[in-house]
Amino acid sequence: MLRDDLRNVAIIAHVDHGKTTLVDAMLKQSHTFRDNQTVEERVMDSNDLERERGITILAKNTSIHYKGVKINVVDTPGHADFSGEVERVMMMVNGVLVLVDAAEGPMPQTRFVVQKALEMGHRLIIVVNKIDRPDARLNEVQDEILELLLELDASDDQLMSPVVWCSGRDGTATLDLNKPGTDLTPLFETIINHIQPMEADTEGPSQLLVSSIDYNDYVGRIGIGRIERGSVKQGQSVVVCNYNDVRLKSPGKIVNLYQIEGLNRVPCEEAKAGDIVCFSGLEQINIGDTVCAPDCVEPHKFVKITEPTVEMTFSVNDSPFAGKDGKWVTTRHIRDRLFRELLKDVSLRVEETGSADSYRVCGRGEMHLSILIENMRREGYEFQVSTPRVMYKDIDGEKYEPMERLIVDVPDEFTGAVFQSMGNRKGELLHMSAVGSRTRLEFIIPARGLFGYKSEFLTSTRGEGVMNSVFFEYQPYKGEIMRRTTGSLVAFETGEAVTYGLFNAQGRGTLFIGAGTPVYEGMVIGESPKSEDINVNVCKTKHLTNTRSSASDDALRLITPKRMSLEECLEFIGDDELLEVTPKNIRIRKRILDSELRAKARAKEKKQ
């Protein structure tokens, strides 16, 4: 049966190319909101972190009605680090809108997600967004998209994908640049006409593939997915199985069934093949599971998700100031939270280590793990993390490491500096071309070569450079890469930093803290230009003798400390350092707090 009354569409694109703004405009123009309803600007970004960073992290479902056709719209993460989400969403839809910024053109994440969509044979609609930008390069971008499709072996049908020129912000779309759009009708029409309705067997035995998971305190775990065959009713007895785990066959019952209407989950009695539904009642349901009728247990194929490439160790905070800010500080709390994250994030992996207090957490990049750290921190957790490390592989007895494809877009005058950095970080130039007054360079570089490069890149290009990377493949180990050439200024006394002490310390390097900050022995309070660590005493007060008076303190001028964000701290910490994360503070510390023990350990290391 042809589900002509339904289209399932995903919007995929690069970071900040306007995906969620366009979905907002589509929702508003399809009257999903009442006219007098005040709508926050980015409707689909529901969590604070996404709003602050202006990026989509979790794929969300919504639906629009247009001329009697229900269009299920799935917004997908734009970050290469969250592409585990993108792969799952591909299983729920029949077509994709490939969104490209009219000025930036196709970038790494666009390449990665389009490749996933093409591999699954989906029909594409090219949406060139932000055509209202003054620096829009409309014709060049269209050619670049065609080149990308050719490079990714798109089929003839995919090469002939329609192009819709949009401005998500203004809510307009047009198929012909000479006729400016007035609303998004051309986009809705193109979706209806170009994305084929799903051929669905609504009579056969039920089969539903779970592509997403959510959690709700009242109904417990919620599975989200598309019905691949037959129909599903509320209260129906089912069996859960999995394509990759033949042993899994657990009976259960669909207690609640919901369909998505606009942004809400509306309870329904029954849903048919092709519908995207949410259901509860199966406590152990997981991503990739298939829910079947008991008389026909047949798991549905699930797309292979690329593995994580970066790992960090999360451990209980055992610093001197532990337990002051956080609500959840014990290993049990941290463990439960990390394993709960696994349910929703299919590209994350958590393993227990030899010690009961630490866990090995693997993700798809620094950004992926820093978002998890930030979320846990805001929820009141307190813990420590190690420096990010890449996950090596042993293939035929040889050490392999993950490589990333990096695209860099810089003004011409900074090309040399970028080239220099890439040489030091074992990057290999693949492609270089002039794009207007800027130059675009494409490198293949070891993932560990990118650690700490973002801030160096922004400094060397004076903030005008744009860089994006995505996982490429595993290649033989490329040899030693010098990670950090600077050392740390380490406090060797516990107390409160005072102006007098800081004044002496700032002569040795850049300070991260100001006067009045509580410090402990072993805490890193600055960066020293030399490659060794320097112990400083920032709690040293001036001895008030009859020749000195306290008033002369006012002459001491302190340089403004460098406030480090979470990402900058993760880039900065070395192998012998940890990052102490609490709801109110982020502190860098040495693994060995005691300065003498640390000196002995370093001497022993030099001997080996």
Partner 1 sequence: MEGHNVSVEQCKRITATEITSVDSFSDRQIVMSFAGGKIVVTGASMKIVGFSKSSGSFSATGEITSVRYVQKGGSIKQKLFR
First to last CA, the chain: 72
Q: How far is the CB of 386 from partner 1 (least distance, A)?
A: 34
Q: How far is the CB of 456 from partner 1 (least distance, A)?
A: 18
Query: Which segment (153-161, 204-212, 418-426, 451-459) binds partner 1 by CB under 8 A?
Result: 418-426
Cβ closer to partner 1: 23 or 441? 441
Answer positive or negative: Cα dihedral of 459, 461, 465, 471.
Answer: negative
How far is it, in rounded angstroms, from Cα 95 to Cα 118? 10
Residue 150 in contact with partner 1, rule: CB under 8 A: no
Q: List the structure tokens of 82.
A: 């969250």
Residues 438-467 that bind partner 1 (CB under 8 A): 439
Residue 174 in contact with partner 1, rule: CB under 8 A: no
Q: List the structure tokens of 563.
A: 């406030």
Query: Which segment (114-122, 354-362, 433-441, 508-516) binds partner 1 by CB under 8 A?
Result: 433-441
Residue 433 in contact with partner 1, rule: CB under 8 A: yes
Cβ closer to partner 1: 2 or 432? 432
Q: How far is the CB of 390 from partner 1 (least distance, A)?
A: 23
Strands 428-435 and 398-411: unpaired
Residues 66-85 that bind partner 1 (CB under 8 A): none
Cβ closer to partner 1: 377 or 440? 440
Burial of 372 (0-12, 13-18, 19+ CB in 10 A): buried
Cβ closer to partner 1: 296 or 432? 432
Sole binder of partner 1 in the list 54, 423, 436, 476 (CB under 8 A): 423
Q: How far is the CB of 51 from partner 1 (least distance, A)?
A: 40
Type of residue found at 342: L
Sole binder of partner 1 in the list 416, 436, 476, 529 (CB under 8 A): 416
Sole binder of partner 1 in the list 199, 412, 496, 594 (CB under 8 A): 412
How far is it, in rounded angstroms, from Cα 466 to Cα 2? 45
Helix axes 138-151, 108-119, angle to 10 degrees: 50
Q: List the structure tokens of 144.
A: 């670049």
Cβ closer to partner 1: 428 or 567? 428
Residue among 167, 55, 184 nearest 109 (CA): 55
How far is it, in rounded angstroms, from Cα 536 to Cα 573? 18
Sole binder of partner 1 in the list 428, 456, 567, 576 (CB under 8 A): 428
Q: How far is the CB of 257 from partner 1 (least distance, A)?
A: 51
Residue 431 in contact with partner 1, rule: CB under 8 A: yes
CB distance 255 to 309 below 8 Å? no
φ, ψ of residue 371 to 5 degrees: the values are -65, -40
Sole binder of partner 1 in the list 152, 391, 430, 515 (CB under 8 A): 430
Q: How far is the CB of 513 from partner 1 (least distance, A)?
A: 39
Residue 38 in contact with partner 1, rule: CB under 8 A: no
Cβ closer to partner 1: 317 or 439? 439
Residue 5 in contact with partner 1, rule: CB under 8 A: no
Q: 């994350």: which residue's tokens?
A: 348
Residue 434 in contact with partner 1, rule: CB under 8 A: yes
Cβ closer to partner 1: 219 or 430? 430
Sole binder of partner 1 in the list 2, 266, 432, 544 (CB under 8 A): 432
Q: How far is the CB of 433 from partner 1 (least distance, A)?
A: 5
Residue among 378, 466, 375, 383 nearest 58 (CA): 375
Instruction: Tell me the DSSP string of 275-314.
Output: -EEEEES-TT--TTEEEE-TT---PPP-PPPPPP-EEEEE
577, containing H or E segment? strand 577-581
Cβ closer to partner 1: 214 or 428? 428
Q: How far is the CB of 430 from partner 1 (least distance, A)?
A: 5
Type of residue found at 471: F
94, containing H or E segment? none
φ, ψ of residue 198 to 5 degrees: the values are -80, 135
Residues 470-529 that bind partner 1 (CB under 8 A): none
Q: List the structure tokens of 238.
A: 């089912």
Residue 419 in contact with partner 1, rule: CB under 8 A: yes
Residue 544 in contact with partner 1, rule: CB under 8 A: no
How far is it, in rounded angstroms, from Cα 297 to Cα 329? 44
Residue 429 in contact with partner 1, rule: CB under 8 A: yes
Q: How far is the CB of 446 from partner 1 (least distance, A)?
A: 16
Query: Which segment (332-340, 372-380, 430-438, 472-480) binds partner 1 by CB under 8 A?
Result: 430-438
CB distance 42 to 51 below 8 Å? yes
Residue among 470, 311, 481, 314 nearest 391 (CA): 311
Binding site for partner 1 (CB under 8 A): 412, 415-416, 419-420, 423, 428-434, 439
